[in-house]
Amino acid sequence: MSEPREAPYSRAIPTPTGGPLVTAFGVAMLFAGIVTNIAASVIGAIAFAIGGVWWFREVFPREQLEAIEPTGGQSEVLPPPLPDREAPSKRLVLPVEIHPYRAGVLGGLAGGAAMAAVAAAWGIVKHGSLWLPINLLAGAVNPSMAALGEPELAAFDGGWLAIACLIHLVLSIGTGLLFTVALPMMPRRPMLFGVVVAPVILTALSWSTMGIVNPALEEFISWPWFVASQVAFGAVCGFMVNRFEMVPTMRGTSLAARLRVERSDGGGEPS
């Protein structure tokens, strides 16, 4: 990196040379001789040698360069000076603020509890068993459960309980995290999102895939109750998430500032 960058070196280009052309011709002829005549290879070798020496003398002892006079008519590209204070921007960068992720975790847990309550109510009211909805949820990992009858499904089973709790926790927290990202899309009406939009989307998704994901549940499911449980989740989770203060996404600031390693220099978004 010894080349200076100032003019005229910034406008220096190599002098034209036929060395590479002759060398390449030599290489091609050298190989062409294999399929034609040895004479072609001899010519190729000679051309290769001539071209090689020619090329070598272009770069040794010093690279042959020539500078070109400025031609004008160009835009000079330099970075704009940073504005002293923030000018109002016409550009919208979304999302400017989001809910913190822990809001999603807590909201998901609370919503999950509400949902579990509705599901338990359905089990007890409709089928007289607290364990039925739990076992049905666990059916997601055990498709053969669809073959079991209602008495077996209504009985307590520790293993199924553990699996169902795990599935429920993962799905609840995951959905809660989705809420933190999705809620700012409808900033004015968070509860509309929680109570209407999200349950509709989730119910539609479940309705179309239930036969594949969980055939056991599909057999028993009561869609009005299912929708009720989704609404319960959405309402509680949306309410919880919305209670948290929003934090700026800090787009346009450095990684160090986003990680709070160094203080942001006010480059965050105007709010």
Partner 1 sequence: MSTLTTRPAEVGAAVGGEPLATRLHRWAVTVDHKRLGIMYVLSGLVFFLVGGIEASIMRAQLARPANDLVSPEVFNQLFTMHGTTMVFLVGMPILLGMGNYLVPLMIGARDMAFPRLNAFGFWLFLFGGLLLYFSYIGAQGLYGTAVAPDVGWFAYAPLTDRTFSRGNSTDYWILGIMVSGFGSIATGLNLVVTILSMRCRGMTLMRMPLLAWMMLIVGLLVLAALGPLTAAQVMLLFDRNLGAHFFDPQEGGSAVLWQHFFWFFGHPEVYILVLPAFGFVSEIIPTFSRKVIFGYPLMVAATVAIGFISLSVWAHHMFAVGMGPALNAFFSAMTFMIAVPTGIKIFNWIGTMWGGRIRFASPMLFATGFVAMFVIGGLTGIMLAMVPFDWQVSDSYFVVGHFHYVLFGGTVFAIFGALHYWYPKAVGRMLDETVAKWSFWLLFAGFNLTFFPMHISGMLGMPRRIYTFQPDRGLELWNVLSSSGVVLQAAGVILIVWNLLRSARKGAVAGNDPWDAWTLEWATTSPPPEHNFDVAPTVGSRRPLWDLKHPEDPDGRYE
Partner 2 sequence: MAATSDSLAAAAPHAEEWRPARGRTGMACLIGMECFFFGTFIVAFLFYVGKDTTGPTGKTCLSIGPVVVWSICLISSSFTVVAAVKALAKARKAAFEFWLGLTLLLGGAFIYGTVMEWRGLMLEHELFISTNLFGSTYYSLVGFHAFHVVLGLTVLGLLWTLSKFGHLGPEDTERVELVSWYWHFVDVVWIFVFTSVYLIGTGILS
**Positions that interact with partner 1 (CB under 8 A):** 4-5, 7-14, 16-21, 23-25, 27-28, 31-32, 34-36, 55, 58-59, 62, 65-83, 87, 89-91, 93, 251-252, 267
Nearest CB to partner 2, comparing residues 60 and 259:
60
Which pairs with CB-CB distance under 8 Å and at least 24 residues apart come from 227-230?
227/199, 227/203, 228/118, 229/115, 229/118, 229/119, 229/122, 230/115, 230/198, 230/199, 230/202, 230/203
Phi, psi of 13, deg, nearest 5: -130, 160
Stretch that binds partner 2, among 12-20, 31-39, 73-81, 237-245 (CB under 8 A): 73-81
Q: Which of 76, 84, 245, 265 contacts partner 2 by CB under 8 A?
A: 76
Closest CA to 54 of 24, 31, 13: 24
Judged by DSSP in three states, 14 sits in strand
Nearest CB to partner 2, comparing residues 79 and 149:
79
Contact 249, 267 (CB under 8 A): no
Handedness of CA 133, 135, 139, 143 (dihedral sign): negative
Q: How far is the CB of 217 from partner 2 (least distance, A)?
A: 52
Nearest CB to partner 1, comparing residues 59 and 170:
59
- Tell whether residue 255 is a contact of partner 2 (CB under 8 A): no
- Tell whether residue 1 is a contact of partner 2 (CB under 8 A): yes
Q: How far is the CB of 79 from partner 2 (least distance, A)?
A: 5
- β-partners of residue 198 are none
Contact 145, 216 (CB under 8 A): yes
Site for partner 2 in 30-69 (CB under 8 A): 60-61
Closest CA to 239 of 189, 201, 202, 197: 189
Of partner 1, partner 2, none, which one does residue 71 interact with (CB within 5 to 8 Å by kind)? partner 1
Q: Which of 78, 92, 212, 261 contacts partner 2 by CB under 8 A?
A: 78
Binding residues (CB under 8 A) for partner 2: these are 1, 7, 60-61, 76, 78-79, 81
